[in-house]
Amino acid sequence: MNAPSPQRAALRDRLLDRFLLHGTVVSVERVAARMRRLRIEGPGLGGTACRPGQQVRVHVDGLTRRTYSVWHHDPAGDAIELCVMEHPEPGPGARWGAAAEAGTRVRLGRPEGSFVLRPEAGFHVFVGEETAMPALGAMLAALPGDASVHGCVETATAGDRLPLAHADRLAWRLRGDTSAAASGALAEAVRALDLPDDPAGGAAYVAGEARTVQLVRDVLVRERGWERRSVLTKPFWSPGRRGLE
Protein backbone atom coordinates (compact mmCIF):
# COMPACT_ATOMS: atom_id res chain seq x y z
CA MET A 1 0.00 0.00 0.00
CA ASN A 2 1.35 3.42 -0.98
CA ALA A 3 1.95 5.96 1.76
CA PRO A 4 -0.51 8.87 1.76
CA SER A 5 0.62 12.19 0.38
CA PRO A 6 1.76 14.79 2.93
CA GLN A 7 -1.50 16.68 2.39
CA ARG A 8 -3.65 13.58 2.99
CA ALA A 9 -1.58 12.60 5.99
CA ALA A 10 -2.00 16.05 7.52
CA LEU A 11 -5.78 15.94 6.94
CA ARG A 12 -5.96 12.46 8.47
CA ASP A 13 -4.01 13.66 11.51
CA ARG A 14 -6.30 16.65 12.01
CA LEU A 15 -9.37 14.40 11.90
CA LEU A 16 -7.85 11.94 14.35
CA ASP A 17 -6.92 14.77 16.68
CA ARG A 18 -10.57 15.82 16.88
CA PHE A 19 -11.90 12.46 18.06
CA LEU A 20 -9.11 10.81 20.01
CA LEU A 21 -7.40 11.28 23.35
CA HIS A 22 -3.80 12.39 23.33
CA GLY A 23 -0.86 11.85 25.59
CA THR A 24 2.88 11.54 25.84
CA VAL A 25 4.90 8.65 27.19
CA VAL A 26 6.63 10.00 30.29
CA SER A 27 8.28 6.84 31.57
CA VAL A 28 9.07 3.29 30.49
CA GLU A 29 9.80 0.49 32.94
CA ARG A 30 10.47 -3.20 32.44
CA VAL A 31 8.05 -5.00 34.74
CA ALA A 32 8.57 -8.57 33.50
CA ALA A 33 10.98 -10.45 31.27
CA ARG A 34 8.92 -9.69 28.16
CA MET A 35 6.73 -6.82 29.34
CA ARG A 36 7.29 -3.06 29.44
CA ARG A 37 5.09 -0.62 31.31
CA LEU A 38 4.37 2.67 29.55
CA ARG A 39 3.04 5.60 31.56
CA ILE A 40 1.16 8.00 29.30
CA GLU A 41 0.12 11.43 30.54
CA GLY A 42 -2.07 14.00 28.85
CA PRO A 43 -5.04 16.35 29.34
CA GLY A 44 -8.26 14.34 29.45
CA LEU A 45 -6.70 11.00 30.32
CA GLY A 46 -7.54 11.43 33.97
CA GLY A 47 -11.08 12.62 33.39
CA THR A 48 -12.19 9.74 31.21
CA ALA A 49 -14.03 6.91 32.97
CA CYS A 50 -12.15 3.62 33.15
CA ARG A 51 -13.41 0.43 34.81
CA PRO A 52 -10.87 -2.20 35.90
CA GLY A 53 -10.33 -4.60 33.00
CA GLN A 54 -11.19 -2.19 30.18
CA GLN A 55 -8.96 -1.56 27.18
CA VAL A 56 -7.92 1.25 24.87
CA ARG A 57 -7.22 1.25 21.15
CA VAL A 58 -3.88 2.87 20.40
CA HIS A 59 -3.06 4.24 16.95
CA VAL A 60 0.36 2.68 16.55
CA ASP A 61 1.03 3.50 12.90
CA GLY A 62 -1.18 6.00 11.09
CA LEU A 63 -4.58 4.34 11.01
CA THR A 64 -3.34 1.02 12.37
CA ARG A 65 -4.84 0.36 15.82
CA ARG A 66 -3.89 -2.14 18.47
CA THR A 67 -5.79 -2.87 21.67
CA TYR A 68 -4.19 -2.82 25.12
CA SER A 69 -5.71 -3.44 28.53
CA VAL A 70 -5.31 -0.54 30.94
CA TRP A 71 -2.91 -1.65 33.66
CA HIS A 72 -3.51 1.43 35.81
CA HIS A 73 -5.66 4.55 35.54
CA ASP A 74 -4.47 7.60 37.45
CA PRO A 75 -7.18 10.30 37.39
CA ALA A 76 -5.21 12.68 39.61
CA GLY A 77 -2.16 12.43 37.36
CA ASP A 78 -4.07 12.62 34.05
CA ALA A 79 -2.44 9.32 33.14
CA ILE A 80 -2.97 5.74 32.13
CA GLU A 81 -0.44 2.93 32.17
CA LEU A 82 -0.20 0.13 29.62
CA CYS A 83 1.85 -3.07 29.72
CA VAL A 84 3.16 -3.96 26.27
CA MET A 85 4.43 -7.45 25.57
CA GLU A 86 7.42 -8.23 23.37
CA HIS A 87 7.01 -10.88 20.64
CA PRO A 88 9.65 -12.85 18.67
CA GLU A 89 7.93 -11.94 15.39
CA PRO A 90 6.60 -8.47 16.18
CA GLY A 91 3.68 -6.89 14.36
CA PRO A 92 2.84 -3.17 14.29
CA GLY A 93 1.74 -3.09 17.93
CA ALA A 94 4.80 -4.89 19.28
CA ARG A 95 7.10 -2.69 17.18
CA TRP A 96 5.36 0.40 18.53
CA GLY A 97 5.63 -0.83 22.11
CA ALA A 98 9.31 -1.73 21.73
CA ALA A 99 10.16 1.65 20.22
CA ALA A 100 8.11 3.77 22.65
CA GLU A 101 10.20 5.94 24.95
CA ALA A 102 9.82 9.05 27.05
CA GLY A 103 8.56 11.78 24.72
CA THR A 104 6.67 9.49 22.32
CA ARG A 105 3.33 11.02 21.39
CA VAL A 106 0.30 8.72 21.60
CA ARG A 107 -3.20 8.83 20.12
CA LEU A 108 -5.74 6.51 21.69
CA GLY A 109 -9.45 5.92 22.09
CA ARG A 110 -11.40 6.08 25.32
CA PRO A 111 -11.46 3.03 27.61
CA GLU A 112 -14.05 0.51 26.49
CA GLY A 113 -15.18 -3.08 26.84
CA SER A 114 -17.41 -5.23 29.05
CA PHE A 115 -14.67 -7.52 30.38
CA VAL A 116 -14.62 -5.71 33.71
CA LEU A 117 -14.54 -6.41 37.41
CA ARG A 118 -17.82 -7.20 39.13
CA PRO A 119 -17.06 -5.73 42.57
CA GLU A 120 -20.37 -6.91 44.00
CA ALA A 121 -19.48 -10.60 43.52
CA GLY A 122 -19.06 -12.69 46.65
CA PHE A 123 -15.83 -14.22 45.35
CA HIS A 124 -13.64 -13.87 42.28
CA VAL A 125 -11.80 -16.37 40.05
CA PHE A 126 -9.05 -15.16 37.68
CA VAL A 127 -7.61 -17.33 34.89
CA GLY A 128 -5.21 -16.49 32.07
CA GLU A 129 -1.67 -16.32 30.74
CA GLU A 130 0.77 -13.52 29.90
CA THR A 131 -1.57 -11.62 27.59
CA ALA A 132 -4.31 -11.63 30.22
CA MET A 133 -2.20 -10.38 33.11
CA PRO A 134 -2.62 -6.61 32.52
CA ALA A 135 -6.43 -6.85 32.54
CA LEU A 136 -6.54 -9.32 35.41
CA GLY A 137 -3.98 -7.23 37.29
CA ALA A 138 -6.13 -4.10 37.03
CA MET A 139 -9.09 -6.03 38.44
CA LEU A 140 -7.08 -7.58 41.25
CA ALA A 141 -5.66 -4.18 42.23
CA ALA A 142 -9.19 -2.80 42.58
CA LEU A 143 -10.27 -5.45 45.10
CA PRO A 144 -10.00 -4.85 48.84
CA GLY A 145 -7.48 -6.79 50.89
CA ASP A 146 -10.14 -9.07 52.39
CA ALA A 147 -11.68 -10.04 49.04
CA SER A 148 -12.16 -13.75 48.34
CA VAL A 149 -9.74 -14.38 45.46
CA HIS A 150 -8.99 -17.62 43.59
CA GLY A 151 -7.47 -18.44 40.23
CA CYS A 152 -4.61 -19.68 38.13
CA VAL A 153 -2.12 -17.81 35.95
CA GLU A 154 0.16 -19.58 33.46
CA THR A 155 3.44 -18.12 32.16
CA ALA A 156 6.32 -19.48 30.12
CA THR A 157 8.85 -18.61 32.84
CA ALA A 158 8.75 -17.20 36.35
CA GLY A 159 10.30 -14.02 34.95
CA ASP A 160 7.20 -13.42 32.83
CA ARG A 161 5.01 -12.85 35.89
CA LEU A 162 3.69 -9.35 36.46
CA PRO A 163 3.48 -8.09 40.04
CA LEU A 164 -0.21 -8.77 40.72
CA ALA A 165 -2.18 -7.84 43.82
CA HIS A 166 -3.38 -10.90 45.77
CA ALA A 167 -0.70 -12.94 43.96
CA ASP A 168 -0.30 -15.25 46.94
CA ARG A 169 -3.89 -16.42 46.50
CA LEU A 170 -3.38 -17.49 42.90
CA ALA A 171 -2.04 -20.81 41.64
CA TRP A 172 0.93 -20.15 39.35
CA ARG A 173 2.08 -22.66 36.76
CA LEU A 174 5.00 -22.64 34.32
CA ARG A 175 4.42 -23.60 30.70
CA GLY A 176 8.02 -23.73 29.51
CA ASP A 177 8.34 -24.14 25.74
CA THR A 178 4.80 -25.52 25.38
CA SER A 179 2.41 -23.34 23.37
CA ALA A 180 -0.13 -21.25 25.28
CA ALA A 181 -2.72 -22.13 22.62
CA ALA A 182 -5.39 -24.70 23.54
CA SER A 183 -3.76 -25.14 26.94
CA GLY A 184 -5.22 -28.28 28.40
CA ALA A 185 -2.75 -27.86 31.26
CA LEU A 186 -4.32 -24.54 32.26
CA ALA A 187 -7.79 -26.06 32.03
CA GLU A 188 -6.59 -28.93 34.25
CA ALA A 189 -5.20 -26.43 36.75
CA VAL A 190 -8.58 -24.72 36.91
CA ARG A 191 -10.24 -28.11 37.35
CA ALA A 192 -8.06 -28.61 40.44
CA LEU A 193 -8.76 -25.23 42.05
CA ASP A 194 -10.28 -25.32 45.52
CA LEU A 195 -13.33 -23.13 44.91
CA PRO A 196 -16.47 -22.57 46.99
CA ASP A 197 -18.90 -25.46 46.53
CA ASP A 198 -21.71 -23.14 45.46
CA PRO A 199 -20.70 -20.95 42.49
CA ALA A 200 -23.76 -18.72 42.89
CA GLY A 201 -22.68 -15.19 43.65
CA GLY A 202 -19.19 -15.67 42.25
CA ALA A 203 -17.61 -14.11 39.16
CA ALA A 204 -14.94 -15.67 36.96
CA TYR A 205 -12.70 -13.73 34.57
CA VAL A 206 -11.04 -15.83 31.86
CA ALA A 207 -8.79 -14.27 29.21
CA GLY A 208 -5.97 -15.11 26.81
CA GLU A 209 -5.78 -17.41 23.79
CA ALA A 210 -9.23 -18.07 22.30
CA ARG A 211 -9.26 -21.88 22.44
CA THR A 212 -7.86 -21.94 25.98
CA VAL A 213 -10.55 -19.48 27.07
CA GLN A 214 -13.18 -21.85 25.69
CA LEU A 215 -11.64 -24.87 27.44
CA VAL A 216 -11.55 -23.10 30.80
CA ARG A 217 -15.08 -21.80 30.41
CA ASP A 218 -16.27 -25.33 29.69
CA VAL A 219 -14.59 -26.61 32.87
CA LEU A 220 -16.37 -23.98 34.95
CA VAL A 221 -19.78 -24.26 33.27
CA ARG A 222 -20.07 -27.95 32.39
CA GLU A 223 -18.05 -29.52 35.18
CA ARG A 224 -18.30 -27.12 38.09
CA GLY A 225 -21.85 -25.88 37.61
CA TRP A 226 -21.27 -22.20 36.91
CA GLU A 227 -23.85 -20.14 35.05
CA ARG A 228 -22.50 -18.84 31.76
CA ARG A 229 -23.37 -15.26 32.65
CA SER A 230 -21.09 -15.51 35.69
CA VAL A 231 -18.06 -16.44 33.55
CA LEU A 232 -16.70 -13.36 31.77
CA THR A 233 -14.39 -14.22 28.88
CA LYS A 234 -12.00 -12.24 26.71
CA PRO A 235 -10.11 -13.97 23.87
CA PHE A 236 -7.14 -11.73 23.14
CA TRP A 237 -5.46 -13.81 20.44
CA SER A 238 -5.49 -16.98 18.40
CA PRO A 239 -2.71 -18.57 16.31
CA GLY A 240 -2.67 -17.15 12.80
CA ARG A 241 -5.19 -14.42 13.49
CA ARG A 242 -4.59 -10.71 13.99
CA GLY A 243 -6.82 -8.07 15.48
CA LEU A 244 -8.87 -10.54 17.51
CA GLU A 245 -11.26 -8.68 19.83
Beta strand pairing call for 149-155 and 171-174 = parallel
What is the Cα–Cα distance from 3 to 220, expressed in whole angstroms? 48
**Which pLDDT tens digit goes with each residue over 155-200?**
999 999 999 999 999 999 999 999 999 989 999 999 999 999 999 9
Q: Looking at the predicted structure, is the pLDDT value of residue 14 above 90? A: no
Domains, the chain:
6-108 (2.40.30.10), 123-237 (3.40.50.80)
- Are the C-beta atoms of residues 115 and 56 closer than 8 Å to each other? no
Which has more pLDDT, 5 or 141? 141
**Which pLDDT tens digit goes with each residue over 75-131?**
999 999 999 999 877 788 889 999 999 999 999 999 999 999 999 999 999 999 999
Burial label for 198, CB within 10 Å (0-12, 13-18, 19+), is exposed
**Which pLDDT tens digit goes with each residue over 17-67?**
667 999 999 999 999 999 999 999 998 899 899 999 999 999 998 789 999
- Which CB contacts under 8 angstroms, 24+ apart, belong to 227-233? 227/199, 227/200, 230/199, 230/202, 230/203, 230/204, 231/204, 231/206, 232/114, 232/115, 232/116, 232/118, 232/203, 232/204, 232/205, 232/206, 233/115, 233/206, 233/207
